[in-house]
Structure 1
């Protein structure tokens, strides 16, 4: 037995090294460089984009999901198959390049733009500039991705990523082997303000000359973000808020670690909600609804936009109660919660549901738990959410199923208020 101990010890050390991801395992990862170069010209409605791959080993195939209305003129010296919805590229050798044109301007059905370029600036999402790409490569082959902008003199760029050089950004995501730029981006003649708030670097950017109140918004975030971080401690370490006026869409839209809000939107509206906080909650949660659960996503965002204002002292208890009363009136115009897209009345009704959920959890746990614990768990899981998933998480927190989340109750019309 004693003679066998050294062999056993060696085996145990080897197992421990594998479990802990030791040096032997880490050394197996091979890297190649993926560099996106995007060239913009003032007022030109399309950008020239090039993807260059460099390395001893490259992926054997990349499949880009494309909309032929926004992506065109794909070119490469390597094998390329261009379809209406997919582009298949097969890199060869140690260096391969693919280029295409990206149509910047994109108008929503409501009339406003969620992507736009002028003579002085351009506002868009990185995950639109770069099509979603599926890569065929060995599991040990990872990309080191960089996004570089080729810009006119006097233009600058800001993204959710910290700059790694002039107009250059290193794109990192430890969860992916092929990393692509995502989130809102603003380039051009722009003004930028930033501040460190706890562990978060908040960056606010808008084109020069726009009515966006960068310093006001930064002060507003400084006042309210700490309360939001109490619910969502894993909030991104860097968040970008971009803003612009017409003809951009007159609302707010969130993205990974970033958001857009129209320059004319108030920090706090007359009904005591906050478009900016609403989108920040979306950033914190990182969830999307299934075909019938957008009310969960939008309801939580609106619930915590109002709650955060109340908890920070941004609105008084009286104003908070007035906000709930306003939501009550709006909610009666929502015949159902279950729809693909949540309307204003649907979101209002969802807020009232989450208010009931919060009360029920606190009652069942003697105040030890609340809706905060449910939201925190959803944010940790991220991804798609459904009523069943919400029910299960709420049950874990409360210790038993919640009446307030029974599907039968949620499908019933709201009862009319008593006399």
Structure 2
């Protein structure tokens, strides 16, 4: 399977082509149509295009599908999570190559590549995937048969810094002239990386960090193999938490929430990310015990508005109180296991599940230290009615 991508900066579009040399093995693809973003959809075989969906029945021989995709995209008015200019572009592959429901011959598997054609004057492209050569990347997603190129990507006239931390190839890239302090990011991650590996066990073979200032989203956004950080966000905020480590935790753990009845369990994923955003720095020697205690105290004050954790959505005060609750749970696990276990063991357990619920968290903790856990009797985790 070959994905091809070419940019048209003046039109703010990209042309994609999906080519499959043995169409008979992949029989059918179906994906949601987004008429405001997708246009000029063509393919061989049988193609059905409606405003709601695209259905492609592939021919037995070589199969192909092409389409044009609008690149720039707003997260809210005047705030973008994808931008294309005449000199560079930043986007997520997830938004360019549509997710699809596929029907294939049993036992079929894909060997996928992404080939990128750069406009004249553009110097390079960076993705979270291993580079095969030049502007071609190997796409291997063991979670899916349809190996589409997901994650953050940046192309154009770029300033890029690279480093090898242990077995992880780290790339930090931003458009030339952007305010992102690339060397500071590399130095910061070199400092904290041993604690990242100790906490989570598995670390990626490659990590791409993309940065840019306005009009991009003024925060961080993570993907499965990469993350975006607004160039003006500090590596460590005045409240002691690190936006970079928050998104890095999301990216590595890939823990996301399901639902428990009427309540969302998003507070678990967000609480863990915010907890590790200062805890990893503390463990690396980047702050004192007093400073760590002050962070928890401030989060507790902010979280007093929350009332309970198991609500329909995890807002700021809910996440703040989730951190306080997780810290208490960590101390209880360490005490009852006599130092043999910690919240890290629970996090690694949840990483195997990826999509988790409060019941999964509770079961993981009880496997470590038994039942009658004080943290689970807290009024904070009463379920919303």
Q: Distance in 2 between matches of 1:406 and 1:53?
A: 55
Residue pairs, 1:237-316, within 5 angstroms: 237-291=205-259, 292-316=264-288
Q: 1:76 to 1:330 in 2, by over 3 A?
A: same
What's the offset of the Cα at 1:158? 0.4
**In structure 1, how many angstroms separate the alpha carbons of the residues matched to 2:188 and 2:380?**
37
Distance 1:400 1:136 in 2: 44
Matches within 5 A, 1:49-128: 49-55=16-22, 57-109=24-76, 111-128=78-95
SS in 1 for 2:76: coil
Q: Distance in 1 between matches of 2:85 and 2:235?
A: 26
1:85 CA displacement:
3.2
Q: Distance in 1 between matches of 2:34 and 2:306?
A: 34
**1:362 aligned to 2:338?**
no
The counterpart of 2:3, out of the listed 21, 36, 45, is 36
Q: Offset at 1:202?
A: 1.5
* Secondary structure in 1 matching 2:142: coil
Residue 156 of structure 2, aligned match among 176, 188, 192? 188
Contact 1:40 1:48 in 2 (8 A): yes
In the alignment, structure 1 residue 351 sits paired with structure 2 residue 323: yes
- TM-score, normalization by structure 2: 0.94
Alpha-carbon separation, structure 2, partners of 1:238 and 1:113 = 25
**d(CA) in 1 for partners of 2:30 and 2:309?**
37
TM-fit CA distance, 1:406: 4.0
* CA positional deviation for 1:111: 4.1
1:52/1:97 contact within 8 Å kept = yes
Would the aligned equivalents of 1:64 and 1:133 in 2 still touch at CA under 8 Å? yes
Within the candidate set 325, 328, 335, 2:300 is matched to 328
Change (3 A) 1:260 1:340: farther
Go from structure 1 to structure 2 and tell me whether the alpha carbon gap of 1:106 and 1:56 turns closer, same or farther (over 3 Å shift).
closer
Aligned to 1:40, the other structure's residue is in SS state strand
Q: Which structure would you say has the larger Rg?
A: 1
User: 1:98 is paired with a residue of what secondary structure?
Assistant: strand
Stretches of structure 1 that go unaligned for 5 or more consecutive residues are 1-33, 414-419
**Deviation sequence 1:137-162 (CA, Å, 0-9, x none):** 11221111111111113321100012
CA distance in 2, matches of 1:43, 1:402: 60
CA RMSD for the aligned pairs?
1.7
In the alignment, the residues of structure 1 paired with residue 36 and residue 253 of structure 2 have an alpha-carbon distance, to the nearest angstrom, of 31
**What SS does the corresponding residue of 1:350 show, helix, strand or coil?**
helix
Change in Cα spacing, 1:409 to 1:337, as seen in structure 2 (3 Å) is closer
Residues 46 and 58 in structure 2, CA contact (< 8 A), matched pair in contact too:
yes
Structure-1 residue corresponding to 2:358: 387
Q: Which stretch of the first structure deviates more once superposed, 270-279 or 111-120? A: 111-120
- On the 8 A contact 1:190/1:208 being kept in 2, the answer is yes
Whether the 8 Å CA contact 1:58–1:94 is kept in 2: the answer is no
Q: Secondary structure at the match of 1:224?
A: helix
Determine the C-alpha separation between the residues in 2 that align with 1:360 and 1:35: 51
Give the Cα–Cα distance (whole angstroms) in 2 for the partners of residues 321 and 254 of structure 1.
Answer: 28
**Which residue of the partner structure matches residue 199 of structure 1?**
167
**Equivalences, count:** 379
